Amino acid sequence: MSQVESRGTVVIAVDRCKGCELCIPACPPAVLSMSVDQNAIGFAYPELAPGCTGCGACLLVCPDFCFAVYGYDEPVLHEEEDTACAP
């Protein structure tokens, strides 16, 4: 296991998302990915992994105003399972 530091987080209004995916490449730490699930209106939506910096890039590019961005006063450490395969 490894630790990932988050300096912020986002709250995503999943039911408002129309699945445009503009937030995915806009995220500098690359912690957003599209879900395999769909929201109530039938679209995949972004999911947040540990490592958010609270930069707000997702908020700035989202045409549907799905993001609320919050910064932490002190960084938060998350345990993350290593995904590399053992030899």
Whether 36 is in a domain gets the answer: yes
Could you give the CA distance from residue 32 to residue 52 in angstroms, rounded to a whole number? 9
Whether 87 is in a domain gets the answer: no
User: How does pLDDT run across 22-75, given as a tens digit for each residue?
Assistant: 999 999 999 999 999 999 999 999 999 999 999 999 999 999 999 999 998 888
Whether 86 is in a domain gets the answer: no
| Domain range enclosing 8 | 2-76
pLDDT, greater one: 40 or 4: 40
Whether 8 is in a domain gets the answer: yes
Question: Does position 86 have pLDDT exceeding 70, yes or no?
Answer: no
- Would you state the structure tokens that stand for residue 72, as one six-digit string? 């932490």
Could you give the CA distance from residue 35 to residue 46 in angstroms, rounded to a whole number? 6
Whether 9 is in a domain gets the answer: yes
Whether 22 is in a domain gets the answer: yes
Whether 35 is in a domain gets the answer: yes
> How many domains is the chain built from?
1
Nearest CA to 20 out of 31, 32, 8 is that of 32
pLDDT, greater one: 84 or 23: 23
CATH number at residue 64: 3.30.70.20
